[in-house]
Structure 1
Amino acid sequence: MTYNAIDLFSGCGGMTEGLIRAGFHVIAAVEIDNYAAETYRANHAQHGVTLFETDIRQLESNRISELLNGEPLHLLAGCPPCQGFSSLRKKNKRRSSKDPRNSLILEYYRMVEELRPICIMLENVPGIENYTLFKRVFSQLKKLGYNPQYKVVNVADYGVPQRRKRLVMTGSLLGSITVPDGNSELRTVRDYIGNIESVEETTDPVHRRYPRHSDSVMERIRLTPVNGGSRRDLPDTYTLECHRKEGVGFNDVYGRLRWDDVSSTITGGCLNPSKGRFLHPEENRCITAREAALLQTFRRDYVFPNDIPLTNLALMIGNALPPVFCAAQSSNIRQRLDEVFMADIYDSDKRSEIMKKVKSKNTEPELFVRKLLTKLGYRYRLSTKELDCRPDIVFPSRKKVIFINGCFWHGHNCNRGHLPETNREFWTNKIQHNFERDQRNYEECIKKGWQYLVIWQCDIKISKSESLTKQLINFLQ
C-alpha cells in the first residue's frame, strides 16, 4: 500500500530521501533557503513532489491539503531549524531562547493541528528537549491524541558512518509508536569514502570542491599524523595563540578522520578544518563536498549545485538529515501503518475501532467554513442534542445544519474521491459504509424537520470562496 507523506523544513532533501527509501510517497515539501530548494528540485522534481519555496509562517495549510486529492495524510515529518538549540551555541554563550528560528516548532505544530495526519515524526538536536516551546508542543500533541514519544539516539547505531546525536519524536492517532533502538553494524569512514576516486582524476565537480589554504596552514596539515591525528600531535610552535588559553575546547579542529571509525559530526563547517575534525584520513587536504555528502549517506549521484559559494554548500550538506537514518525511522512508522491498513492484520471490528481515532472534528475544511460564517455575521454551534447524528455546524434557531464531507472518506464523485489502487476491496467497503451512514444522517434530519446542507471538501478553496459564500447565504436565508 502507498502511504502519503509531507516533509516540512526539507533542506536539500535528506528526510525526503529517507522517506522514499522507506516506501513513502512524498506529496509536498517546504523549504525557504534558495540553495537548498534548488538542490531539492534537482533531485526530487521527477518524483512529482510539490516544493513550496517559502516561509512556512506564510504558508496556508489548505494549499498542502489540496495536493492530497482527498486521500489521507499518513505521515507529517519535519525538522525545524535546530541551530538555536545546539550545544555549540550554548558553548558560545548564546541563549537558544533568543534565536528567532526556535519558534518555528510552533509552525510544525500548526501544520499537525490543521492537516491532522495519521502519524507524525520530528527530528532535532537533543538540546530541544529542554526548550519551553518543545514541552508545550509535546503537551498539545498529547491533547490531540497523538501519544507522542521521543528519544535521543546516535545515528551511528542506524548505519550512518558518523557520530551524531539526534532527538526523534514520533506520534500516531493509531496508538503510540516507539522510537526504535539502532542495531545496525558499525559503518566506517572507509566504507563510505575509502574507494572514491582521487580529486585529481574525478569528473565529479562536487568532488573537486574543497578549500585551498595558505602555506602555513598546509604545513600544519602535512605535519598532522595520518588516520586520526590532531592539533595536539603538532610541535608546540604550531599551537595557535587562541588554543593556548585554559579551558579551550574544540580539540578536534585541524584533526584527521580515522579510516576504521565513524566520522565526527558533519556540520555546516564540514569544509573548513578550523571548524572540526574534517581533514582527510591520509591526504593533505580537507574532505571534499562529495565526501561530506557521502558521510551524510546521500547517494553518490545526488545532485548539488556547483556554482554556489563553498561555505553555502558546506552549510547545506551539514544541515541535512542523513537519509539512511531517516529511512530507518520512517520504516518503523510504515510498519505501524501496515499493521492497521493491511487487510490481513486486524479484523474489521478492530480496524474500525482504530479508524475512529483518525481526525473527524476540527478539520482544516471545517475551520475554513467556520471562519467564513463568522465573517458573514452568522452565529452557530458545533452540536445539538436534538439530533442523534453529528453535523459539523448547527444553527438551532433556524433548524438548519451543515455537513462538511471529505471527498475521499465520503465517496464523492470527483478527482479527490478516487480509491487507492492497492487494497481496493478494503477501501470500497470502508467508503460504502460511510456513504450508508451519511444517508441515515440525512434522513434523520428530514424526519425531525431540520434542513441540511452538504459541503464537499473539493469546494472549500480560497479560489472558490465567492461561490461558497453565495451557497451559504442562500441556504441560511
Structure 2
Amino acid sequence: MKKSIKKGIVAIDLFAGAGGLSRGLQDAGIKILAGIDFDESAKKSYEYNNKAPFITKDIKLLKSDEILELLKGYEDYYFLLCGCAPCQAFSTRNSKQKEVDERRSLLLEFDRLIKETNPDFVFMENVPGIKKREPHVYETFVQTLKDKKYKHDADVVNTKHFEVPQERKRFVLFASKHNNITLPTHVLSNTEVLTVRDTIAHLPALKAGEEHSAIKNHKAINLIDLNIERLKQTPHDGGSRIDWKDEYLTAKCHKGKKGFGNSYGRLSWDKPAPTVTTRFYTYSSGRHGHPEQNRAMSFKEGALLQTFPADYVFFGTNGEKGKQIGNAVPPKMAYHFGRHFLKSVM
C-alpha cells in the first residue's frame, strides 16, 4: 500500500488493567486515548504511569458511541482497537471451569465493538489455548474480521523473542483494513534472549517480609518458618523441591508425585524466567523463589521481568498488585508490535 498522509495511530485499550499494553504502544509512538477496564483497583496504577485516562466500565456495558466520542478530533489518525480479554477462561491450566464461563463472552464483546466502531487496525492478545479450548468463540471473532474486509494474521509467539526475559507463550492476532499485515516473528534469537540476571541482579537484597525504603514496590512478602527452611535446602540458581534432603519439607499433596516440579523452585540466573503469573510473589505457587536469597520474588522483580519500566509504580493490596503485574501484556512486546503497526502504514 502507499504510505499514509495521516498523522499516526491512536488506540483504545480494552481490558487495560494497569497498562502494560498501553505503555508499550505509547512508547512505540502510538497515542493512547483511553484504557478501559471494570477493575477499579487498577485505575491509580494506570493513570499514574500512562498519559491517558482510565475509564472504569464493564465492556458488556460499553457503548460504541462512547468510543466514537473519544475519537473525535482524531479523524486524521488511524484507529487501533486493542486488548487482551481476561484469559483464564481459555487457559489450558483452567481445567475446572464450568462449560459456560461468562468471561468467554468478553471476546465476543470485543467482536461487537469491532463491528460497531470499524477500527483501522485490531490487535488481540491472549493465551495459546484460546483456539483449542473454545473454537466457536474464536471462529466467530475471525469471521467478523473477514466479513468486515480485514486482512489478518495470527500465531503463538514467545515473549522472550521480543526482549521479555520470560518463557511466556502468547496468542497474538493482528488485523488491518489497509494492508496485508503480518506478525513479526522475533527481534531476538534464542541465543540473544534476556535473562533473570540481566533484569533483576542489580536490585538490592531483601529478606522475606522486607520492603526497600527507596525503591517502590521492591517488597518481598513474609514467609512461614517452614518455607524459609525449604528455601535453605533449595540449591541456588534453579534448584527445586526435588533437591530437599528432609522429607518433612515436602507437602502432603506432592509426596510421591513428580508433577508440579516448579512449585517451591528458584529462578535460574542465566535463563529467562518462567511465565510471571498473578501469584509470582508467593513462594509455593511456582518457580518463584529468588535465585539465591531466601524469599519469593518482590513486586518490583516481577514487574521488571514483565518489562515494565523501572519507574512504573503499582498501587493496591498485594493481591491487586500481583494481578496488575501478572495479567499484563509485557510492555516491551507491545512496543515492538506497536512499531510494527506504525512501520506498516507510515
Flag whether TM exceeds 0.5 (same fold).
yes
- Structure 1 outlier segments of 4+, above 2 Å: 197-202
1:196 aligns with 2:199: no
- The answer to whether the 8 A contact 2:8-2:78 is kept is no
* Alignment equivalent of 2:325, drawn from 317, 322, 325: 317
* Alignment equivalent of 2:252, drawn from 230, 235, 241: 241
1:330 aligns with 2:343: no
Q: Give the C-alpha shift of residue 73 in structure 1.
A: 4.2
Q: Give the alignment's TM-score, normalised by structure 2.
A: 0.91
> Between Structure 1 and Structure 2, whose CA radius of gyration is higher?
1
* Alignment equivalent of 2:43, drawn from 33, 37, 41: 37
- The answer to whether the 8 A contact 2:127-2:169 is kept is yes
* Alignment equivalent of 2:167, drawn from 156, 160, 163: 163
1:187 aligns with 2:194: yes
1:89 aligns with 2:94: yes
Question: What CA deviation, in whole Å up to 9, does each residue of 1:295-339 have, x standing for no partner?
Answer: 00001110211xx3212221221111100011111211111121x
- The answer to whether the 8 A contact 1:271-1:311 is kept is no
- For residues 330 and 43 of structure 1, the distance between their equivalents in structure 2, rounded to whole angstroms, comes to 18
Equivalent residue number for residue 53 of structure 1: 56
Secondary structure at 2:237's aligned position in 1?
coil
Secondary structure at 1:186's aligned position in 2?
coil
Q: Give the alignment's TM-score, normalised by structure 1.
A: 0.67
Pick the structure with more helix per residue. Answer: 1
* Alignment equivalent of 2:237, drawn from 212, 216, 227: 227
Equivalent residue number for residue 274 of structure 1: 284
**CA 1:13–1:60 in structure 2 vs 1: closer, same or farther (change >3 Å)?**
same
- For residues 343 and 65 of structure 2, the distance between their equivalents in structure 1, rounded to whole angstroms, comes to 28
Q: Give the C-alpha shift of residue 38 in structure 1.
A: 2.0
Question: What CA deviation, in whole Å up to 9, does each residue of 1:173-218 have, x standing for no partner?
Answer: 113211111131310111110111233654124102x221111111
- The answer to whether the 8 A contact 1:86-1:125 is kept is yes
How many positions carry a matched residue from both structures?
328
- For residues 152 and 205 of structure 1, the distance between their equivalents in structure 2, rounded to whole angstroms, comes to 33
Secondary structure at 1:260's aligned position in 2?
coil
Equivalent residue number for residue 115 of structure 2: 113
- For residues 312 and 8 of structure 1, the distance between their equivalents in structure 2, rounded to whole angstroms, comes to 19
Q: Give the C-alpha shift of residue 235 in structure 1.
A: 1.8
- For residues 126 and 133 of structure 1, the distance between their equivalents in structure 2, rounded to whole angstroms, comes to 14
Q: Give the C-alpha shift of residue 236 in structure 1.
A: 5.0
- The answer to whether the 8 A contact 2:115-2:144 is kept is no
Q: 1:358-397 residue pairs with structure 2 within 5 A?
A: none
1:144 aligns with 2:148: yes
Q: 1:438-457 residue pairs with structure 2 within 5 A?
A: none
- For residues 84 and 150 of structure 2, the distance between their equivalents in structure 1, rounded to whole angstroms, comes to 18
Equivalent residue number for residue 253 of structure 1: 263
- For residues 314 and 29 of structure 1, the distance between their equivalents in structure 2, rounded to whole angstroms, comes to 19
1:295 aligns with 2:285: no
Give aligned-pair identity as a percent: 38
Question: What CA deviation, in whole Å up to 9, does each residue of 1:350-405 have, x standing for no partner?
Answer: xxxxxxxxxxxxxxxxxxxxxxxxxxxxxxxxxxxxxxxxxxxxxxxxxxxxxxxx
- For residues 118 and 259 of structure 1, the distance between their equivalents in structure 2, rounded to whole angstroms, comes to 42
RMSD: 1.5
Secondary structure at 2:123's aligned position in 1?
strand
1:24 aligns with 2:30: yes
